[in-house]
Amino acid sequence: MLLEIKNLYVSFNGMHGTTEALKNINLAIDQGEIVGIVGESGSGKSITSLAILGLLEKNAIIPQGEILYNGENLLKLKRKELQELRGKEIGMVFQEPMTALQPTMKIGKQLYHVIKKHRNLSKQETKKAVIQALKDVHIDNPELVADKYPFELSGGMRQRIVIALAMAAPPNLLIADEPTTALDVTIQYEIINLIKELNKKRGTSVLFISHDLGVISNTCERIMVMYAGEVVESGKTEKVLTHPRHPYTKSLLKALPDSAAPDEPLQAIDGEAPNLLQRPVGCAFSDRCSQVMDVCKRDHPKLLESGPGHHVSCWLEKVTV
């Protein structure tokens, strides 16, 4: 297994107490696999990716858990070692491309620096690799684009450049956190196809994060549905989407206006996610669940296997199985 997250907990110390942002997260990504995380805003998707990258804010505490990369626990690495791993082994693409780009440096120069840093190439070879990196993300006129500043490019072009930078080392794992959210729908699909193509061609594993079930269903072989910092359901994408078992997954699917049109935006589900400063004793979704039972308010359900590789955390499983 390339990446294995085991029983990960993340909390934040703040003025009003401790926010339990992640609770008992388990996730595995094999070499060459695309795994998706889906969930509403605040469900802990970004915190999961930042924990892997060692980029959590200073007030974060990790009371329990392991993040194994090729068997090595990233939580035990020194800051410098983690820094080396980022970019070289693990590439990242975030929602807003400008945050990953140097505003005052030409595109070609930015790529040159990253390629020079990670690959043992001569000056001439590095220059060639810059052009190739731009071609790999389907940029026409790479020489022309290399000579531009980020602000001279469109959002979609910028995100392609960020992907080229993230893939430059090249990494074994790409973490893409809402990489298309800030883009137009048509551009979104070009970027998703690009990520899928790089995954196929180079065998790069991808952790793909989105609040949009349509985007996820199109991209990932396996998905993990998160709610209030916990995994409520996980399994093969096709299985989870055609036979969802958790009421939260079902309502996410129902909120899709037309599941045949995956580019439709996700609509909000009635009610609000619980305050993570004071987690409910029972199931975190119980307040919003249409099938809530007494036990749901009293006890927290366990994530159990409901079918091959299909895990669900819901008291209904106990009752109906």
Ligand X SMILES: Nc1ncnc2c1ncn2[C@@H]1O[C@H](COP(=O)(O)OP(=O)(O)OP(=O)(O)O)[C@@H](O)[C@H]1O
Pick 153 or 226: Cβ nearer Mg ion: 226
Torsion-angle region of 111 (φ positive above 0: left; ψ -120 to 50: alpha; else: beta): alpha
On whether the CB atoms of residues 185 and 215 are closer than 8 A, the answer is: no
With contacts defined by CB under 6 A, name the span among 42-50, 134-142, 252-260, 298-306 that binds ligand X. 42-50
Can you tell me the distance from the alpha carbon of 119 to that of 237, in angstroms, rounded to the nearest whole number?
A: 36
On whether the CB atoms of residues 228 and 50 are closer than 8 A, the answer is: no
Half-sphere exposure of 178 (CA within 13 A, CB side): 16
On whether the CB atoms of residues 319 and 236 are closer than 8 A, the answer is: no
With contacts defined by CB under 6 A, name the span among 41-49, 127-135, 185-193, 264-272 that binds ligand X. 41-49
Q: Under DSSP, is residue 249 helix (H, G, I), strand (E, B) or coil? A: helix
Pick 133 or 183: Cβ nearer Mg ion: 183
For position 301 contacting ligand X by CB under 6 A, the verdict is no
Residue 291 pairs with which residues in a beta bridge? Answer: none
Choice from 3, 19, 25, 231 touching ligand X (CB under 6 A): 19
With contacts defined by CB under 6 A, name the span among 40-48, 145-153, 213-221, 258-266 that binds ligand X. 40-48
Pick 137 or 276: Cβ nearer ligand X: 276
Can you tell me the distance from the alpha carbon of 5 to that of 301, in angstroms, rounded to the nearest whole number?
A: 20
- Backbone φ and ψ of 117, nearest 5°: -65, -40
How big is the CA angle at 41 (ends 217 and 250), to the nearest 5 degrees? Answer: 45
Q: Which of residues 163-202 bind ligand X (CB under 6 A)?
A: none
For position 36 contacting ligand X by CB under 6 A, the verdict is no
Choice from 116, 158, 211, 222 touching ligand X (CB under 6 A): 211
What are the residues whose beta carbons fall under 8 Å from the beta carbon of 90, sequence distance 6 or more?
52, 53, 69, 171, 172, 173, 174, 175
Q: Closest approach of Cβ 41 to Mg ion, in Å? A: 7
Q: Which tokens in the block code for residue 151?
A: 């602000």
For position 234 contacting Mg ion by CB under 5 A, the verdict is no
Pick 116 or 211: Cβ nearer ligand X: 211
What are the residues whose beta carbons fall under 8 Å from the beta carbon of 299, sequence distance 6 or more?
281, 282, 315
Pick 20 or 33: Cβ nearer ligand X: 20
- List the x/- string, 248-287, binding to ligand X by CB under 6 A: ----------------------------x-----------
Choice from 14, 17, 271, 307 touching ligand X (CB under 6 A): 14
Choice from 5, 25, 38, 47 touching ligand X (CB under 6 A): 47
On whether the CB atoms of residues 146 and 134 are closer than 8 A, the answer is: yes
For position 99 contacting ligand X by CB under 6 A, the verdict is no
For position 215 contacting ligand X by CB under 6 A, the verdict is no
- List the x/- string, 30-69, binding to Mg ion by CB under 5 A: ---------------xx-----------------------
Where on the chain is the footprint of ligand X (CB under 6 A)?
12, 14, 19, 21, 39, 41-47, 57, 59, 211, 276
Where on the chain is the footprint of Mg ion (CB under 5 A)?
45-46
